[in-house]
């Protein structure tokens, strides 16, 4: 029973419980040790979870072999699991699927929410909320650049315009190419890129030049501006960034890609930063967890500033999920989602 069990606030103990113990309510099983990239860690053999005492989080752990790792990852996938297993898990075009088994996985949250919104026909109304545009057509859904066609058994193709943008901006990069978390595309009308965050903040450019390595995306402000040069975009589409203040590197790359791809497709672009209000509020003293709207607006001409939106999982829940009877299962998932052993999003 517990080898396939999923855990959230409905069956987890209080976050104030004893550090290092099994977080499942009522569990008193003697803990063992399981391997991790950080060395041996406490492991509950009853509930098959590895426990990270320092951060009060857990990881689904069915065993060290590849088959067991796949089963562990799938425990964190509640919707469209068969499709995810066949087309996403282990897909070479999707980076770091091994992290899907983490309680705080952004990818698992993204898949569960957006695959269920897609199957429930809720993407058009969400798209209207994100852009302020009245759109009736069902948008094409791309997660991590892959076209998600839930009723199609064929291999999901990569968004062609993304491949083109990578060829222009990321030639010579051998791993971790730019991979928009979510794209919503209405041919002939609109392309929306969504940079999703859960318990992590928006990445800030490094101040150390030694952090830029050959074959990898640059991490410094100077390296990013050189590689993702706005001169490759339509004229005056992107302004020179300020030399002061934080430089949100991941959002900048997504902005460049959004503008470039939309130009090639001859559609309007939009960029959304989707975060957790609860998680950002808890860490608001750190610049990574602050509203980046001012940074983005400073990069854009006044007439295109409304094409960026700072939005949240909580608002998505309230606007499109909580009162939708046909999405009751998604509402329960989002309301009870945990992070670091505590309520993650709602309530």
Q: What is the pLDDT of residue 153?
A: 87
| 145 within domain boundaries | yes
pLDDT for the residue 91: 86
- Residues 48 and 176 reside in one and the same domain: no
Contacts of 236 (CB under 8 A, 6+ apart): 301
In the structure encoding, which two tokens stand for residue 95, read together?
Answer: 């980076």
Query: Length of the chain in residues, anyone?
Result: 347
Same domain flag for 22 and 140: no
Q: Where in the sequence is the domain holding 237, given as residue range(s)? A: 110-329
pLDDT tens-place values along the chain, 347 residues long: 456 899 999 999 876 556 668 999 999 899 999 988 888 999 999 999 999 877 789 999 999 999 999 999 999 999 999 999 999 998 888 877 778 999 999 999 999 999 999 999 999 999 999 999 988 778 999 999 999 999 998 999 999 999 999 999 999 998 889 999 999 999 999 999 999 999 999 999 987 766 678 888 999 999 999 999 999 999 999 998 877 789 999 999 999 999 999 999 999 999 999 999 999 998 989 999 999 999 999 999 999 999 999 999 999 999 999 999 999 999 999 999 999 889 999 76
Last residue of a domain, one of 26, 51, 75: 75
Same domain, 53 and 156: no
Query: Quick one: 13 and 156 in the same domain?
Result: no
pLDDT of residue 1: 41
**DSSP reduced 3-state for 196:** strand
Q: Are residues 191 and 66 in the same domain?
A: no
In this prediction, residue 2 carries a pLDDT of 54
Question: Domain check: are 253 and 191 in the same one?
Answer: yes
Count the domains in the chain. 2
Q: Cβ(27)–Cβ(46) under 8 Å?
A: yes
Q: Is residue 215 a part of any domain in this protein?
A: yes
Whether residue 230 contacts residue 237, with contact meaning beta carbons closer than 8 Å, is answered with: yes
Euclidean distance between CA atoms 265 and 189, whole angstroms: 9
The answer to whether position 177 is within a domain reads: yes
Per-residue pLDDT, 32? 94
115 domain residue, yes or no: yes
**Locus of tokens 């992290």:** 99
Three-state DSSP class for residue 270 = strand
pTM above threshold 0.85: yes
Sign of the CA dihedral running 170, 174, 178, 184: positive
- What is the three-class DSSP state of 107? helix
- Statement to judge: residues 258 and 153 lie in one domain: yes
Q: Are residues 150 and 296 in the same domain?
A: yes
Place of tokens 């490094």: 206
């Amino acid at each position: 029973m517990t080898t396939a069990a999923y855990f959230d606030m409905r069956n987890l103990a209080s976050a104030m419980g004893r550090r290092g113990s099994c977080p499942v309510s009522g569990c008193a099983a003697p803990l063992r040790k399981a391997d991790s990239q950080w060395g041996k860690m406490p492991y509950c053999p009853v509930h098959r979870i590895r426990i990270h005492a320092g951060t009060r989080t857990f990881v689904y752990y069915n065993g060290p072999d590849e088959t067991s790792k796949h089963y562990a990852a799938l425990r964190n996938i509640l919707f469209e699991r068969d499709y995810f297993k066949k087309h996403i898990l282990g897909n070479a075009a999707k980076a770091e699927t091994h992290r899907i088994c983490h309680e705080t996985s952004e990818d698992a949250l993204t898949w569960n929410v957006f695959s269920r919104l897609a199957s429930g026909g809720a993407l058009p109304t969400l798209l209207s909320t994100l852009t302020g545009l009245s759109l009736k057509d069902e948008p094409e859904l791309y997660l991590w650049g892959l076209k998600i066609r839930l009723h199609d058994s064929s291999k999901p193709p990569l968004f062609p315009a993304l491949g083109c943008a990578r060829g222009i901006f990321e030639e010579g990069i051998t791993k971790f190419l730019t991979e928009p978390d979510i794209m919503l595309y209405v041919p002939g009308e609109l392309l929306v890129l969504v940079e999703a965050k859960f318990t992590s903040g928006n990445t800030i450019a490094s101040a150390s030049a030694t952090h830029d390595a050959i074959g990898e995306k640059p991490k410094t402000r100077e390296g990013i501006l050189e590689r993702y040069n706005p001169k490759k975009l339509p004229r005056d589409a992107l302004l020179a960034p300020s030399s002061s203040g934080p430089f949100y590197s991941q959002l900048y790359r997504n902005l460049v890609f959004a503008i470039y791809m939309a130009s090639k497709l001859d559609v309007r672009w939009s960029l959304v930063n989707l975060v957790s209000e609860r998680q950002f509020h808890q860490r608001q003293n750190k610049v990574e967890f602050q509203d980046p709207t001012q940074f983005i607006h400073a990069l854009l001409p006044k007439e295109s500033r409304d094409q960026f939106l700072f939005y949240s999982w909580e608002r998505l829940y309230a606007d499109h999920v909580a009162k939708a009877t046909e999405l009751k299962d998604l509402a329960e998932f989002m309301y009870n989602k945990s992070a670091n052993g505590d309520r993650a999003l709602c309530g």
